[in-house]
Amino acid sequence: MGTLYLKYRPKQFEEILGQDHVKLLLSNAVKSGKVSHSYLFSGPRGTGKTSVARILAKSVNCDHPVDGYDPCNSCDSCVEIDTGRTLDVIEMDAASNRGIDEIRSIRDRVFYMPSKLKYKVYIIDEVHMLTREAFNALLKTLEEPPEKTIFILATTEIQKVPETIISRCQVLEFRRISPNIIRSKLEDVCKAEKIEYEIVALDHISKEAAGGMRDALSMLEGIARFSNEKVTLADTFSVLGDGPIETVESYITSILDGNVDALIHVVDSIKNQGTDVMNFLRSVVEYSSDRIKDDGLISIGKFAGDLIQILRYEEKQFDLFKVMSAFETLKYKKISSENVQPLTDQVRQVEKVDQEIKTDVERLIRFYAQKDLSVYVSLSEADLKDLGDRILVISYTLLQNEILKEKDKMITEDFKSVTSRDVRFVFAYSKVPIDSMNDKLREPIIKVLSLFGGKILPEGGE
């Protein structure tokens, strides 16, 4: 079967899927002979940036272009570029060659004319990974480009590319490929490779790929190898670590019914099955989106989407997933007046907890358990120091620190309402637990943070 994403990598503009605006612009540029000296391809991974860069390199050098712009893939120039035997098309991965020495090497060689082809083409992938010094060296080259040289820069994070670089390039935005286009391609590949498939499995893969054709083909290949050339929905769930639809439905139903016990059972089964939490939540979002008119599913879909963003920053993904899911279930818990019993065991337990709360900080955390779960979790996992006129809150994950800082005013007002104290909150972020530091270091750091807040950097920088 071979590696599918390599075997089915586009070799002509006409084979590029989902990027019609890019194909039109570049094909017109090649036909008119007005190719820019530098391009910046930006967009999500697996959407065709590097493939298009190679096709463009072949197009400008092709001896017999089809329709005046598409590479023929049979002339000496096309064959040499496809096989990597030419010295005039240079590819560099900036993720592993990000220093100034590599860019200086390009700068020193760039003024030499192409050794054999019409144009010398430099393709720099993941260009946002270059160091500041390397960018400065590249900038000089882009400002005064040689006549027969083309630079093609590619990045998944254009916001990290300096404006000085962007302003000297023609920027092309690659878009996520629609699930329908991906599914159609997967069907064609399955037929060509004689892979049996269920269309619902291809649908699921297409959505899981998140707009990336390369990811979709990699998933298809992995599932086909796992299931002996037959792609079923059940095998797709097994390989990708997604929860079966029944588990997704049970999870959502438990939350909407406010059934904490059932929710904990579902969550534990997810863990025991080895299901990936992030993939499971994406299935929840997908399920909710498909049935968005159903009562409650809009809120559940949003909750799952927000939780995905939170878990991206967490080491203990499963623990936080379980806690947040339980809190969400409590929000939906319906207690009708006729079902309220005087002082059940559960109520006694809550009262006992309330009686054990001794400090103002504990009262605040307890208050947010019912009001704002993001603040509750962030405060619960933070280190809070009550310094009298101010409360120092030290978070150990960056996201939680950002959540608390954004809600500074609300937290201050709620604290005054709960405790009748008027204090100032100071928020700080540390990668190192404060209490693990020795006394001589800990006390000065707490004093400084209580005045200015900010971030503690471990020795050696970030």
- Residue at 462 is within a domain: no
- Residue at 378 is within a domain: yes
Question: Is 433 a residue whose pLDDT tops 80?
Answer: no
Q: What is the mean pLDDT of residues 404-414?
A: 89
Q: What is the residue type of 143?
A: E
In this structure, the answer to whether residues 147 and 288 fall within a common structural domain is no
Nearest to 216 by CA among 204, 227, 226, 225: 204
In this structure, the answer to whether residues 151 and 70 fall within a common structural domain is yes
Nearest to 203 by CA among 225, 181, 218, 188: 181
Reported as a pLDDT band with limits 50, 70 and 90, residue 345 is very low
Q: What is the residue type of 198?
A: E
CB atoms within 10 A of CB 280: 21
Instruction: Tell me 82's DSSP state.
Output: H
Query: Distance of CA 290 to CAs 286, 298, 371, Å?
Result: 6, 10, 29
- Residue at 111 is within a domain: yes
What pLDDT does 74 receive? 93
Q: How far is it, in rounded angstroms, from Cα 111 to Cα 124? A: 17
Reported as a pLDDT band with limits 50, 70 and 90, residue 336 is very low
- Residue at 270 is within a domain: yes
User: Rounded to the nearest 5°, which phi and psi values hold at 172?
Assistant: -120, 120
- Residue at 123 is within a domain: yes
Residue 196, domain CATH:
1.10.8.60
Strand-by-strand arrangement of the 38-42 sheet: 89-93, 120-125, 149-155, 38-42, 170-173
In this structure, the answer to whether residues 169 and 185 fall within a common structural domain is no
Q: What is the residue type of 161?
A: V
Q: What is the mean pLDDT of residues 136-152?
A: 87
In this structure, the answer to whether residues 285 and 375 fall within a common structural domain is no
What pLDDT does 125 receive? 92
What pLDDT does 227 receive? 84
In this structure, the answer to whether residues 145 and 263 fall within a common structural domain is no
CB 56 within 8 A of CB 91: no
- Residue at 461 is within a domain: no
- Residue at 273 is within a domain: yes
Range of the domain at 23: 4-173
Q: What is the mean pLDDT of residues 391-409?
A: 82
Question: Is 95 a residue whose pLDDT tops 90?
Answer: no
- 217: tokens are 């083909």
Q: How far is it, in rounded angstroms, from Cα 156 to Cα 108? A: 27
In this structure, the answer to whether residues 145 and 53 fall within a common structural domain is yes
In this structure, the answer to whether residues 354 and 437 fall within a common structural domain is yes
What's the number of domains the chain is made of?
4
Reported as a pLDDT band with limits 50, 70 and 90, residue 23 is very high
Q: How far is it, in rounded angstroms, from Cα 148 to Cα 59? A: 14
Name the strand (E) or helix (H) holding 196.
Answer: strand 196-197
In this structure, the answer to whether residues 379 and 394 fall within a common structural domain is yes
Q: Which distant-in-sequence residues (6+ apart) come within 8 Å of 423 by Cβ?
A: 388, 389, 390, 391, 412, 415, 416
Domain boundary among 331, 350, 371: 331
Q: What is the mean pLDDT of residues 387-395?
A: 88
Domain boundary among 279, 308, 331: 331
Domain boundary among 222, 240, 258: 240
Q: Hey, which residues does 125 pair with through a beta bridge?
A: 93
Instruction: Check residues 373 and 246 and name the one with the higher pLDDT.
Output: 246
- 305: tokens are 């989407």
Residue 165, domain CATH:
3.40.50.300
- 128: tokens are 């946002």
Is pTM beyond 0.85? Reply is no
Q: Which distant-in-sequence residues (6+ apart) come within 8 Å of 235 by Cβ?
A: 201, 223, 226, 227
In this structure, the answer to whether residues 311 and 406 fall within a common structural domain is no
Q: How far is it, in rounded angstroms, from Cα 462 to Cα 112? A: 41
In this structure, the answer to whether residues 190 and 230 fall within a common structural domain is yes
In this structure, the answer to whether residues 220 and 294 fall within a common structural domain is no
Low-confidence winner among 79-88, 169-178, 438-447 (lowest mean pLDDT): 438-447
Cβ burial of 177 (10 Å; 0-12, 13-18, 19+) is buried
- Residue at 76 is within a domain: yes
In this structure, the answer to whether residues 118 and 217 fall within a common structural domain is no
